[in-house]
Structure 1
C-alpha cells in the first residue's frame, strides 16, 4: 500500500473515532511486527477541563492520536498521546 492510501485511512479513522476533523501530522513506514505504518493525527477538541467546570467557552485542546496500520491498512492500535516528537 502506498503513502497516500495510508494517509487517507488514518485521517478517516481518527475523524470517525473522534467526530472531529483530523489532520495528519506524521506518517512513517515501520518494519517491526511484519511492517506497516505509524501515524499521528491532530484533532482540536473542546477542552474537557473547561467543560467539566461548566464554563461557557469554546477553548479547544490540541490532541494527538497515534494509529498503527498493518500492511493491509487495517488499524492494529489506536491511542491518544499527550505529545509527539515531530
Structure 2
C-alpha cells in the first residue's frame, strides 16, 4: 500500500536512517490500516473490503483510492463512522 516492494522495505528496516521519502507514506499507511482495523475488527474482512469496489467511492475500491493518492476519502469515511454520522 505504501508503494514500496517488500524487499525495499526490508532494506530500509535494516538501515540506520530511513529516508524521509519513505517515512511519510509508510507512516500514513500504518495509521490508515490501524484506523480501518479498529472499525473492521477482522483482518480478513478488512482485506476483502480494501479490494472490493465500493459505491461510496464511485465503485472504486479503497485500494484504488490509496494507489491514486486519494486516501483522504477513506479518512473522511473513517471519521464519519467514528462519529456515527452516515451521509
- TM-score, shorter chain, exceeding 0.5: no
TM-score (norm 1): 0.29
Task: Considering fraction of residues, name the structure with more helix.
Answer: 2
Q: Which has the higher contact order (CA 8 A, sep 6+)?
A: 1
